[in-house]
Amino acid sequence: MYLGPINAEWVLLIVIAIVGFIVQAKLQSVFKKYSKVMFPGGLTGKDVAERMLHDNGIYDVKVVSTPGHLTDHYNPATKTVNLSESVYSSNSVAAAAVAAHECGHAVQHAREYAPLKMRSALVPVVSFSSQWAMWVIIAGMLLLNTYPALFWIGIGMIAVSAVFSLITLPVEYNASARAMEWLTGSYTLKGEQAAQAKEALAWAARTYLVAALSAVVTLIYYIGIARRQ
């Protein structure tokens, strides 16, 4: 049976949501598994991060602990690599992978990696758009006959989030590539442990891929509504 455009888009959004749930569950499972695999070097996530930063000639970035689970991130504004408590003090393969990945962002920042600069520039705009886009969309639907431009403004705000998600993909994949290059090149991880770290980072990257697909399909969905009015 043929599904109309709106129904087809809804089905696609549901499928992406299900895939996203599966990917997130797998990510949690992989990190839990490799959080129990210790490597002979005995370095904690903090140690790994500091070594990678210094090996890349970066001495003005601090490595700090942040509350939560998988809350790890690099903050270019404060030049801090923020590692979750389970990563900061752990000497597991998972901790090494996460710490190196976040330092990959610090290296991007130091090397003025273009996609990271673009993503950082979009953060204030995306923060505003994500907060107000749906309200503008709803208002636009209510005023579609009298002020149709409002609906397109809402779509534009959703488009900003979609662009941000797409730009995030090369940023995250590149950070993981830099992480693995250093982890293996410095012999911090070798053999099976390096493969395990690569698997963990691959699943983390897939969450960003699903998010980008969801953002793009959502944008297409609302554009389809506007064009059919």
Instruction: Dump pLDDT digits (tens) for 101-122.
Output: 999 999 999 999 999 999 999 9
Mean pLDDT, the chain, rounded, equals: 89
Which of 102, 112, 172, 181 is an active site residue? 102
Q: How many CB atoms lie within 10 A of CB 91?
A: 17
Spatial strand order in the sheet of 80-84: 62-66, 80-84, 73-75
Report the chain's C-alpha Rg in angstroms: 20
Confidence of residue 70 (pLDDT cuts 50, 70, 90): confident
Instruction: Dump pLDDT digits (tens) for 165-217.
Output: 999 999 999 999 999 999 999 999 888 999 999 999 999 999 999 999 999 98
Q: Which residue has the tokens 């509504």?
A: 225
The residue-averaged pLDDT of 153-175 equals 94
The residue-averaged pLDDT of 89-101 equals 94
Helix axes 93-110, 191-228, angle to 10 degrees: 60
What six digits make up the tokens of 20? Answer: 């996203």
In a 3-state reduction of DSSP, which class is residue 23?
helix
d(CA 180, CA 175): 9
- Rounded to two decimals, what is the model's pTM? 0.87
pLDDT confidence of residue 1: 32
pLDDT confidence of residue 225: 80
pLDDT confidence of residue 73: 94
The verdict on whether 112 is a catalytic residue reads: no
Burial 95-111 (b: 16+ CB within 10 A, else e): bbbbbbbbbbbbbbbbe
**CA-CA distances (angstroms) from residue 209 to 135, 156, 166, 186?**
26, 21, 8, 29
Asked if residues 180 and 52 have their Cβ atoms less than 8 Å apart, the reply is no
Asked if residues 81 and 53 have their Cβ atoms less than 8 Å apart, the reply is yes
